Amino acid sequence: MSLEILEFGARKEGRPPLLLIHGAYCGAWVWQRHFMPFLASNGYHGIAISLRGHGQSDGHSTLDLLGIQDFVDDAEYAASLLESAPVVIGHSMGGLIAQIMSTRHPLKGMALLAAVPPHGLATAATQMWMEKPGLFSQLGVALSMGGWSSNPQQVANNLFSMETPSWEQVRFLSQFQRESTRAAFEIMLPQLLLAPTPLPPVFVLGGDTDAFIPKEEIASTAHFWNVTATIVPTLPHEMMLDERWIEAAQPLIEWLGTL
């Protein structure tokens, strides 16, 4: 199994390595535009992985057979390539993978960006179905056929902020792929997580108008890890690609500086 691994930055004594884990429908490429250069310019070294069946990794032909545990295995393999225990930075589904990892191996820290909460996405999905039924149905199409087969502007408007030009929103969305139906089902379910002792340093961040991971779910994740969530006003879900990416990256870099 060949996995796409993108490296950034130079090793610096006293700075932990970073492992970036993407969310559903995408790959390691989502970190390349802003976050990887920003982290490197602030003295951090690390890698971003494309989970199997995503990006340029193998596994696309068997995508629907892949579950969250397969993705956790991929992330743990990537962590083993680093010189020491990493800080894992996970977005959305990648945030859930990071949380599962933390219960199995000691981590230097864990940053959860608009992460799937430990109790799963069933509540958030029900809220979306009730409040934004059109978006809910379009995501179902995207799950089975990829980003371009849905109504691109409707989905993009809920992924990005108004500051990101509409043409760029649709361009990004065109790079999104279909997701594993098995994994999409599994992230709806509660995860049997037992928080490790001692707890690793944890940073939890999200936006208060995120259509995919509502602020209440962000707060729930923070509560599980006994920290206070950083809620950024109107920060969109796809914060790594958005024009307002710095509003997520700057608090993250400040937290990294405390480790």
In a domain, 125, yes or no: no
Residue 147 has pLDDT above 60, yes or no: no
Q: What is the pLDDT of residue 109?
A: 97
The count of structural domains within the chain is: 1
The residue type found at 116 is V
Report if residue 147 sits inside a domain.
Answer: no
pLDDT tens digits, one per residue of 190-243: 988 888 888 899 999 999 989 889 999 999 999 999 999 999 999 999 999 999
Main-chain phi, psi angles of 106, to 5 degrees: -65, 135
How far apart are the C-alpha atoms of 139 and 188, rounded to whole Å?
Answer: 14
- Does 197 fall in a domain? yes
- CATH number, residue 102: 3.40.50.1820
* 156, part of any domain: no
Report how far residue 17's alpha carbon sits from residue 45's, in angstroms, rounded to the nearest whole number.
5
Report if residue 28 sits inside a domain: yes
CA separation for the pair 233, 122 (Å, rounded):
24
pLDDT score, position 146: 60
CA distance 156 to 33: 17
Please give the residue that has the higher pLDDT: either 139 or 210: 210
The answer to whether residue 127 sits within a structural domain is no
Reduce the DSSP state of residue 47 to 3 states and report it: strand
Measured distance CA(237)–CA(184) in Å, rounded: 17
Tokens 């065109």 correspond to 174
Paired tokens of 238? 């796809």
Mean pLDDT value of segment 244-258 = 98
Q: What is the pLDDT of residue 151?
A: 63
- Please check whether residue 148 lies inside any domain of the structure: no
The fraction of the chain above a pLDDT of 90, given in percent, is 70
What is the average per-residue pLDDT within 36-43? 98
Q: Per mean pLDDT, which range of 90-94, 149-153, 172-176 is the poorest?
A: 149-153
Adjacent-strand bridge partners of 48:
6, 20
Minimum mean pLDDT range among 17-21, 104-108, 143-147: 143-147
pLDDT of residue 12: 85
| 50, 28 Cβ separation under 8 angstroms | yes
Of residues 160 and 28, more confidence is placed in 28
Domain assignment present for residue 51? The answer is: yes
Structural domain span for residue 86: 5-120+180-256
pLDDT tens track for 157-176: 778 899 999 889 888 888 88
Q: Which of 244, 24, 18 is nearest to 124 (CA)?
A: 24
